[in-house]
Amino acid sequence: MIGIDTIIQGVLLGGLYALFASGLSLIFGIMRLVNLAHGDLIVFAGYLILVGVSVFGLNPFLSALIAAPLMFGVGWVLQLAVLNRVLGHNILPPLLVTFGLSVILQNLLLETFSADSQRIPVGVLETASVDIGVTSLGLLPLLTFGSAIAVILILNWIFYRTALGRAFRAVSDDPTTASLMGIKPNRIFALATGLALVIVTIAALYLGMRANFDPTTGPARLLYAFEAVIIGGLGNLWGTLIGGMIIGVSQTVGAALNPEWQILAGHVAFLIVLLIRPRGLMPKQ
């Protein structure tokens, strides 16, 4: 039976997909780099948080707070040491490098943590809920959705209200002219990737608290992220949130009709949107 709660669950799930997608969108928007390792970086961050929780006994949120700057450092170094070398007019080298990175990450995680699926234990939060009359909402999905909105608000503020945001957009438009403004494009790219991996950490926290993950979980998260970005229209973070919500609702409705249809329904919704609006729902002019 499809009730209002099914729809709301889907909408809230969309927040998680928007979190997956925001980091991907940030990197693509600034340096036209499609990061095929994005999903695996989410899973990597998930394990990092898990180590904090299971080895050091930290609260998951505290563990994520510690993981976030570490992931920023990973992004910074990754960009300066590897990705900056392959950026250019040809889009193939970055694709190949991030694909390779994806394979390396998956195998590294498999070696370190085995193929067993894991979950970040959350205690009471897992079942806590808020009663809103018509239905009751899980506290965790609500937190996820709220975090997605907060991330988008903060990113938009950075982009359109700060000098860093001006530098992001200037470098994205024209790196050579940006360097004539005193901007170092490679540093800006490193900052952007670092920031994207902070968002990846937030996504990993909610993914890991919501569902099981293992070293091979990444590519499917990448796919949802891509779909959310493309449904929403490239370069529009609110569009990405809408995209995430469309996939989320399709999945929960699909699952309510028949549990086998859950994943398929999300992909079908994506294809339908592409058929009707090839440039996404809210394309940037």
Choose which of 123, 173, 275, 278 interacts with other proteins (CB under 8 A). 173
Confirm if 193 and 76 have CB atoms less than 8 A apart. Answer: yes
Please choose, from the candidates 8, 3, 1, 4, the residue with its C-alpha nearest in 3D space to the C-alpha of residue 249.
8
In the complex, what is the shortest distance from the CB of residue 177 to other proteins, in angstroms, rounded to a whole number?
A: 4
Residue 174 interacts with other proteins (CB under 8 A): yes or no: yes
Choose which of 93, 113, 156, 184 interacts with other proteins (CB under 8 A). 184
Between 29 and 46, name the residue whose CB sits nearer to other proteins: 29
Number of residues in the chain: 285
DSSP H or E stretch at residue 138: strand 136-138
Residue 4 interacts with other proteins (CB under 8 A): yes or no: no
Between 132 and 181, name the residue whose CB sits nearer to other proteins: 181
Residue 178 interacts with other proteins (CB under 8 A): yes or no: yes
Residue 181 interacts with other proteins (CB under 8 A): yes or no: yes
Choose which of 176, 259, 275, 278 interacts with other proteins (CB under 8 A). 176
| Helix extents (H) in the chain | 4-31, 38-54, 60-78, 84-86, 92-113, 139-161, 163-173, 175-180, 185-210, 218-232, 237-257, 262-276
Q: Which residue stretch of 14-22, 171-179, 211-219, 257-265 sits at the interface with other proteins (rule: CB under 8 A)?
A: 171-179
Between 56 and 160, name the residue whose CB sits nearer to other proteins: 160
CB atoms within 10 A of CB 249: 22
In the complex, what is the shortest distance from the CB of residue 174 to other proteins, in angstroms, rounded to a whole number?
A: 6
Confirm if 20 and 196 have CB atoms less than 8 A apart. Answer: no
Residue 182 interacts with other proteins (CB under 8 A): yes or no: yes
Confirm if 61 and 127 have CB atoms less than 8 A apart. Answer: no
In the complex, what is the shortest distance from the CB of residue 212 to other proteins, in angstroms, rounded to a whole number?
A: 41
User: Hey, what are 177's tokens?
Assistant: 């002219």
Strand partners for 129? 138
In the complex, what is the shortest distance from the CB of residue 223 to other proteins, in angstroms, rounded to a whole number?
A: 28
Residue 205 interacts with other proteins (CB under 8 A): yes or no: no
One-letter amino acid at 221 equals: R
Residue 156 interacts with other proteins (CB under 8 A): yes or no: no
Residue 177 interacts with other proteins (CB under 8 A): yes or no: yes
